[in-house]
Amino acid sequence: MESNENFAVSKYFVKSTDCSVNDTIQPSVLLGDIQENAEDGVIQLFSDTTKLNEHGYCWIILRMTVSMDRWPAWREHFEIRTWAQGTEKFYFDREFEIYDSSDNKIGCASSIWIVADINSHRPIIPGHVRDFEMIDFIQDTKLALGYRSPKLPFPKDIESLGKPVISKYADYTELDRNHHVNNTRYAAWFCDAIHKFGLKPELIKEFTINYISEVKDSEKVDLYVSMSEDNKKVYVYGMKNDNEKVFVVEAIL
């Protein structure tokens, strides 16, 4: 990790196993890289997530928007820069920019997180976290996208979505160190759903994910897909346990 007073920098290399059918990085892999870069940014501010866990707290992501001019390709080196944009009530904003090896910006992202009790997942008010100084949380007031990652609605009429296009299960390899499906896996799931629907995930230019409820070991999630009226946007809705909302995605192809 490199850093200055405003942002932390993490460097990455695209392996063949990171790529989709067109030799560019999978959205789920890029989200994993963004998540690691976020951890580097948190370390720069106060301490790492392991230390946070020891005190009974954890980070939970609520929303993420990723917008790409192009996706990093196989064997390409790239870097992600992150900074904390500030807090609002319970919410922490973290911003990202993605650069190629020639220092050209090829994408950016915006995310919203909370610090929560590690057992109940109830949010903790910023400043009430033991042994973590968050007064100087703001590193830069710039928004990478020019706006915060938005909140997406579910359709009022769930029945209008028809039948699920695919179902996913929280099998062992989907689970993370917090014993639930990791946020990066939702990106893999929505790409599978879009593909099953007959569209090409490799053409995605931008997507927003809202994480609504966690998915635990062995749970089943049904994925539904719909298009906007102008066919410029595709939506993926994840539900479990008789229409309990799990996540929603808006993607621009």
What pLDDT was estimated at residue 47?
Answer: 60
Contact 68, 203 (CB under 8 A): no
Contacting residues for 39 by C-beta, under 8 A, at least 6 apart: 48, 49
Please write the tens of the pLDDT for every residue from 99-144. 999 999 999 999 999 887 778 778 777 666 655 555 456 667 899 9
pLDDT of residue 135: 43
Instruction: Map residue 202 onto helix, strand or coil.
Output: helix
Any idea how long the chain is? 253
22: left (phi over 0), alpha (psi -120 to 50) or beta: alpha
Query: Is CATH 3.10.129.10 the classification given to domain 158-252?
Result: yes
Q: What residue spans define the domains of the chain?
A: 2-117, 158-252
Please give the Cα distance from 96 to 27 (Å, whole number): 15
Q: Please answer whether residues 76 and 100 qualify as being in contact, where contact means their C-beta atoms are separated by less than 8 angstroms.
A: yes
DSSP string, 119-141: TT--B--TT-STT---TT--S--
pTM: 0.91
Instruction: Check residue 13 and give its pLDDT.
Output: 98
- In which element (H, E) is residue 25 found? none
The domains spanning 2-117 and 158-252 adopt the same CATH topology: yes
Q: What tokens appear for 93 in the block?
A: 């904003």
Question: From first to last of its 253 residues, what are the pLDDT tens digits of the chain?
Answer: 565 667 889 999 999 999 999 999 999 999 999 999 988 887 776 666 777 777 778 888 999 999 999 999 999 999 999 998 877 777 889 999 999 999 999 999 999 998 877 787 787 776 666 555 554 566 678 999 999 999 999 988 888 889 999 999 999 999 998 889 999 999 999 999 999 999 999 999 999 999 999 999 999 999 999 999 999 999 999 999 988 999 999 999 9
Q: What angle do CA 236, 106, 112 make, to 5 degrees?
A: 50
List the end-to-end C-alpha distance of the chain, in Å, as a whole number.
32
At residue 123, the pLDDT reads 77
CATH superfamily, with its number, for domain 2-117: Hotdog Thioesterase (3.10.129.10)
**Inter-CA distances, 229 with 102, 157, 242, 249, Å:** 39, 16, 27, 16
Q: Which SS3 state, helix, strand or coil, does residue 16 take?
A: helix
